[in-house]
């Protein structure tokens, strides 16, 4: 009889992907979450995984072989207390992944503050295009695959390596469990203010990660990224390759929006990328993916050919509607750097057409006000900005964006946002919704209105 694992917090992107992998390995998988909702719930039910609403002790009767506990759960949660009181075997998600999926694999891990999901998706797709049939676990749904995780047919496994903590009983970053042989460190800024005191605390975790990469591995990072350079200078026992300004891997842009560029390695042209994506951040993501793929034997020319067919990730400037000259995009950007880069990329592509940015500060760092001074300047490439100030935001958003460089409104409900967008829109308008959550159903409501 197949072993039974129960996952607490199963609808999160990481835990949901873990459930899919466990199912593919032949486990019986059940799970519970405070909120069971699409798209993750749909993806899981299609895989034959039984979902339960809430954290009730009876979900754990009869006792499963293992309880995998997500990092959103803490002491005091009724299911957690039941597991501890009954002495049920439990483990964190990253630890389970390391023990049951990654053991014996050539792990390619992508870490960094921004661009992890997109770069991991690019790298998995490059390997797939080269015929390497990798396994992967990605914190989003890459449109080339249509699923966020799979076991794969070979020893290669591509994983999005998150610096967030593992569980209430393991405060190390998730990525220290993964033991990559090929490591990408995309960039490093202060984030996750709910668990890290400062940038130095995050750098400590990145150095723990660096210590786990073997001497026959490869570490790739941008040469101009000072915070990562400091991490490497603390001690690195692995060959490195650098990207971007001053790096071994560089680009020559053929278009300002980043949709056409030439890749160079140590001054030698490797090929030209022409693709659908925009923004300097995606050019940097591509360079990192090409460098990492070369470490497992994919020639840059093959990687470049794959990127021409790369279809990005759901909720990464995903076009939701295009009607009567108005285009609606859904984007995950929630940190000032990501907001700025995404809007600048769009500005280069659309010229003087109107851009309306609608932004929900929703991440834990945002709720704590960690990035508030960077918010107003991050929207300079838009024509109009609408901020959603939810009741749960514990600081004065209006005051934080009062000196914004472009016309700005702060609104407290979704209906008011819809009215404002309807009033501002005209043919040749691009509306970008930016949130790392569901945005109170706004994407679906606006999509229906624009398509009506």
Q: What is the pLDDT of residues 141-195, one digit of tens each?
A: 888 998 899 999 999 999 999 988 999 999 999 999 999 999 999 988 766 666 6
Answer yes or no: is pLDDT of 115 > 60: yes
Which pLDDT value is given to residue 370? 59
Cα distance between residue 53 and residue 75, in whole Å: 19
Cα distance between residue 77 and residue 95, in whole Å: 21
From the number of C-beta atoms within 10 Å of its C-beta (0-12, 13-18, 19+), residue 355 rates as buried
State whether 338 and 263 are in the same domain: no
392 or 167: which leads in pLDDT: 167
Q: What is the dihedral of CA 445, 276, 435, 207, to 10 degrees?
A: 160
Answer yes or no: is pLDDT of 61 > 90: yes
C-alpha distances (whole Å) from 234 to each of 200, 241, 352 are 12, 17, 46
State whether 73 and 162 are in the same domain: no
State whether 45 and 124 are in the same domain: no
Pairing of strands 106-111, 135-137: unpaired
Q: What is the pLDDT of residues 241-277, one digit of tens each?
A: 999 999 999 999 999 889 999 999 999 999 999 998 8
How confident is the model over 411-428, as a mean pLDDT? Answer: 90
Is residue 97 in a domain? no
Segment among 4-8, 193-197, 351-355 with least mean pLDDT = 193-197
Q: What percent of the chain has pLDDT over 90?
A: 65
Grouping H, G, I as helix, E, B as strand and the rest as coil, residue 116 is helix
Answer yes or no: is pLDDT of 412 > 60: yes
Which one of 286, 307, 328 terminates a domain? Answer: 307
Is residue 120 in a domain? yes
State whether 236 and 361 are in the same domain: no
Cα distance between residue 252 and residue 56, in whole Å: 56
Q: What is the pLDDT of residues 64-81, one digit of tens each?
A: 999 999 999 999 999 999
How confident is the model over 374-380, as a mean pLDDT? Answer: 89
Which one of 307, 342, 357 terminates a domain? Answer: 307
How confident is the model over 106-117, as a mean pLDDT? Answer: 92
State whether 143 and 282 are in the same domain: yes
Is residue 129 in a domain? yes
Which pLDDT value is given to residue 400? 86
Which pLDDT value is given to residue 212? 97
Answer yes or no: is pLDDT of 334 > 90: no
State whether 247 and 129 are in the same domain: yes
State whether 163 and 295 are in the same domain: yes
Q: What is the CATH number of the domain that holds 133?
A: 3.40.1190.10
Q: What is the CATH number of the domain that holds 349?
A: 3.90.190.20
Which pLDDT value is given to residue 122? 97
Please count the structural domains in the chain.
Answer: 3
State whether 291 and 158 are in the same domain: yes
100 or 404: which leads in pLDDT: 100
Answer yes or no: is pLDDT of 126 > 60: yes
State whether 108 and 83 are in the same domain: no
In this structure, what are the phi and psi dihedrals at residue 281, rounded to the nearest 5 degrees? -65, -35
Cα distance between residue 332 and residue 170, in whole Å: 27
In this structure, what are the phi and psi dihedrals at residue 341, rounded to the nearest 5 degrees? -65, -40
Is residue 135 in a domain? yes
Is residue 422 in a domain? yes
| β-strand partners of 271 | 263
CB 43 within 8 A of CB 16: yes
Task: Please provide the average confidence, as pLDDT, over all residues in the chain.
Answer: 91
Cα distance between residue 437 and residue 452, in whole Å: 25
Q: What is the CATH number of the domain that holds 69?
A: 3.40.50.720
DSSP character for 142? B
Which pLDDT value is given to residue 371? 67
Q: What is the pLDDT of residues 18-46, one digit of tens each?
A: 999 999 999 999 999 998 777 778 889 88
Q: What percent of the chain has pLDDT over 70?
A: 96
Is residue 171 in a domain? yes
Which pLDDT value is given to residue 199? 86
State whether 258 and 130 are in the same domain: yes
Which residue's structure tokens are 């398509």?
451
Is residue 12 in a domain? yes
Is residue 99 in a domain? no
CB 117 within 8 A of CB 139: yes
Which pLDDT value is given to residue 191? 67
Model's pTM, two decimal places?
0.81
Q: Which long-range contacts (CB under 8 A, 24 or more apart) does 411-417 make?
A: 411/386, 411/387, 412/388, 414/388, 414/439, 414/440, 414/441, 414/442, 414/445, 417/358, 417/386, 417/388, 417/442
Domain extent, residue 36, equals 4-92
State whether 125 and 240 are in the same domain: yes
163 or 335: which leads in pLDDT: 163
Which pLDDT value is given to residue 309? 94
């Amino acid at each position: 009889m197949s072993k039974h694992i129960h996952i607490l917090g199963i609808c999160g992107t990481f835990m949901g992907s873990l459930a899919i992998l466990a199912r593919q390995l032949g486990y019986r998988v059940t799970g519970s979450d405070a909120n069971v909702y699409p798209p993750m719930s749909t993806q899981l039910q299609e895989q034959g995984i039984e979902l339960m609403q809430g954290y009730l002790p009876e979900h754990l009767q009869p006792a499963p072989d293992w309880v995998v506990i997500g990092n959103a759960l803490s002491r005091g949660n009724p299911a957690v207390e039941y597991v501890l009181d009954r002495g049920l075997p439990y483990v964190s998600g990253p630890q389970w992944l390391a023990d049951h999926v990654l053991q014996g694999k050539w792990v390619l891990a992508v870490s960094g503050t921004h661009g992890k999901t997109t770069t991991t998706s690019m790298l998995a797709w490059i390997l797939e295009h080269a015929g390497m049939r990798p396994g992967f676990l990605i914190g989003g749904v890459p449109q080339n695959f249509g699923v966020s995780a799979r076991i794969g047919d070979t020893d290669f496994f591509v994983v999005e390596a998150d610096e967030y903590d593992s569980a209430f009983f393991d405060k190390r970053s998730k990525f220290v469990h993964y033991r990559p042989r090929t490591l990408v460190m995309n960039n490093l800024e202060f984030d996750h203010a709910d668990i890290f005191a400062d940038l130095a605390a995050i750098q400590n975790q990145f150095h723990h990660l660096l210590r786990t990469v073997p001497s026959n591995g490869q570490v790739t990072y941008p040469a101009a990224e000072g915070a990562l350079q400091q991490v490497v200078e603390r001690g690195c026992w692995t060959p490195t390759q650098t990207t971007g300004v001053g790096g071994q891997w560089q680009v020559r842009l053929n278009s300002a929006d980043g949709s056409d560029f030439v890749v160079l390695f140590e001054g030698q042209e490797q090929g030209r990328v022409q693709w659908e994506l925009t923004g300097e951040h995606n050019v940097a993501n591509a360079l990192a993916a090409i460098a990492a793929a070369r470490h497992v034997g994919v020639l840059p020319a093959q990687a470049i050919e794959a990127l021409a067919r790369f279809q990005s990730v759901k909720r990464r400037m995903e076009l939701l509607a295009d009607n009567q000259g108005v285009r609606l995009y859904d984007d995950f950007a929630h940190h000032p750097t990501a907001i700025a880069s995404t809007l600048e990329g769009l500005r280069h592509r659309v010229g003087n057409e109107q851009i309306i940015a609608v932004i929900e500060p929703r991440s834990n760092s945002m709720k704590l006000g960690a990035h508030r001074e960077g918010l107003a300047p991050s929207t300079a490439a838009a024509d109009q900005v609408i901020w959603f100030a939810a009741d749960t935001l514990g600081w004065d958003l209006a005051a934080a964006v009062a000196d914004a460089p472009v016309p700005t409104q702060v609104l407290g409900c979704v209906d008011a946002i819809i009215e404002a967008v309807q009033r501002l829109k005209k043919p040749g308008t691009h509306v970008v919704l930016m949130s790392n959550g569901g945005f109170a159903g706004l994407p679906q409501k606006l999509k229906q209105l624009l398509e009506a």
